[in-house]
Amino acid sequence: MEQKRIYREFKQYSFEFKNIVCKEHIEHGFSLAELTRKYDLSSHSLIHYWLRKYGYITPGSIGINETNLYVGIENNEPIPEIPMHTPDEHNNENKSEIARLKNELKDAMIQLEGYKRMVEIAEEQLKIPIRKKYNTK
């Protein structure tokens, strides 16, 4: 009786082949599933591994989608730095924002008092209960 192999033989791919697959994904927009079927690869995670290993994507890039970032040897541009606020600028911005929000809150409270007064006048003059009575069925 012939014995079945329960393990998969590992294929070895050349550096050139790996680069071709990675470039097809990055430059031509082929999906990982398409490339996996086209080249009979074991899984799409293998292509992810090659992309990270050979510098086509940088793992853990903040705010950047890994599949769209190309940082190969031919196109090695630094990621632009995020401008940082000095503590004084940040503090002044916070103070002005707090002052603006306080004014908005004050206006909203005045408007609420106006609505409450209008309901009271309407209930008195029209003799119609407008407010909800609690404890009613």
Question: Rounded to 10 degrees, what is the CA torsion of 70, 71, 74, 78?
Answer: 120
Question: In the structure encoding, which two tokens stand for residue 37, read together?
Answer: 């079927």
Instruction: Give the per-residue pLDDT at 62.
Output: 37
Quote the pTM value: 0.40
Q: How confident is the model at residue 137 (pLDDT cuts 50, 70, 90)?
A: low
Number of neighbours of residue 8 by Cβ within 10 angstroms: 7
Question: Which parts of 10-86 fold into alpha helices (H)?
Answer: 15-28, 32-38, 44-53
Check: CB of residue 120 under 8 Å from CB of residue 129: no
